[in-house]
Amino acid sequence: MKFKFYALKLTLVCIIIFILQIAFSKFTDLFILDQSSYKEIWRFLTAIFLHGNFAHLLYNSFALALFGSILEKLIGGKRFLAVFFITGIFANLFAVNFYNSSLGASGAIYGVIGTLIVTRPMMIVWAFGLPMPIFIAGILWAFGDIIGVFVPSNVGNIAHLAGMLLGLLFGILFKKERLRRHLNSNNEILFDENKLRAWEDKHL
């Protein structure tokens, strides 16, 4: 699989769109996720690329570039894009029912992280000031979002949890597929070895 740098390209798109948000005061209002999104359904997609401030953009850009590139390398570019967009839209479908407005790539990024938790659970990441396996970090991140649901803040905790949940399901799907390929590969090797032995018994 050729590495296409899709995660980095998506990060660049987020940066460019943030510049447009700053340059044009009405830009965000046209694409943000809000109560009009059921009539203007593109907002479920476009809101993924909007960000509320520079810190929001910086945090999401770092996470997307890092975790996205790791996942893209692991499962391929097209599958990475599927995880990113599907989990991001799925997260927004939840968020629109709980928040007056919502924006940001966090739901999609949590989807990427959820997929990595299943496919690479022991991968070491730096979280909460400590190195730890990503599955431990994921539990802590999810726990923080669960608390956030009951302690309202300016964070889309429900979108995070929805994205991570679907990401976990994607991870299970990809892990099963990899196991199936591994078993098929072993069966082919065994089959070839049996044919070789039969030929040797007959001709030698």
- Residue 182 annotated as catalytic: no
Q: Which amino acid is at 121?
A: P
Secondary structure percentages of the chain, helix, strand, coil, to 5 = 75, 5, 20
Q: Which candidate in 160, 182, 185, 203 is catalytic?
A: 160
Pair 88, 163: CB distance under 8 Å: yes
Question: What is the chain's Cα-based Rg?
Answer: 21
Phi, psi of 125 (to 5 degrees): -130, 160
Q: Which candidate in 25, 36, 106, 203 is catalytic?
A: 106
- Residue 56 annotated as catalytic: no
Pair 49, 17: CB distance under 8 Å: yes
Query: Hey, which residues are catalytic here?
Result: 106, 160
